């Protein structure tokens, strides 16, 4: 069983930055994969970025070049640094995790954190 808790969301102006954090609490060993999806109102949930415990990463084309994903394996945490934010980045961002190796498919999910990009 894995519990995920996101933090760091909020309101930011276009062109601004936010850093999302995700902390994983496990009853077993540490998770392998962690990443982020997002869901805007009336839209399907979409992949944003993912990273393995070994540091391999994958990004959606819509955010490539604007976001950095990183891990702190010792703390079982993942971070999503988002820069040059656009209004279309507005969504609820969900952290996902998996015990198996993957860069974009997760078995466990957090409750989500709201990111709003608006002037």
**52-88, pLDDT tens digit by residue?**
999 999 999 999 999 999 999 999 999 999 999 999 9
Q: What pLDDT shows up at residue 28?
A: 76
Q: What pLDDT shows up at residue 72?
A: 93
Percent of the chain with pLDDT over 70: 100
With a CB cutoff of 8 Å and minimum separation 6, the contacts of 65 are: none
- Distances in Å between the Cα of 88 and the Cα atoms of 5, 37, 41, 44, 111 are 24, 14, 11, 14, 21
Mean pLDDT over all residues of the chain?
A: 95
């Amino acid at each position: 069983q894995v519990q995920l808790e996101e933090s760091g969301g909020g309101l930011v102006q276009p062109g601004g930055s936010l850093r999302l954090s995700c902390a994983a609490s496990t009853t077993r060993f540490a998770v392998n994969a962690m990443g982020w999806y997002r869901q805007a109102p009336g839209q399907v949930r979409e992949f944003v970025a993912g990273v393995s415990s070994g540091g391999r990463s994958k990004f959606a084309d819509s955010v490539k070049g604007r976001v950095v994903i990183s891990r702190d394996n010792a703390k079982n945490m993942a971070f999503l640094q988002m820069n040059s934010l656009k209004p279309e980045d507005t969504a609820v961002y969900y952290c996902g995790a998996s015990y198996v190796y993957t860069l974009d498919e997760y078995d466990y999910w957090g409750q989500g954190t709201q990111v709003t990009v608006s002037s």
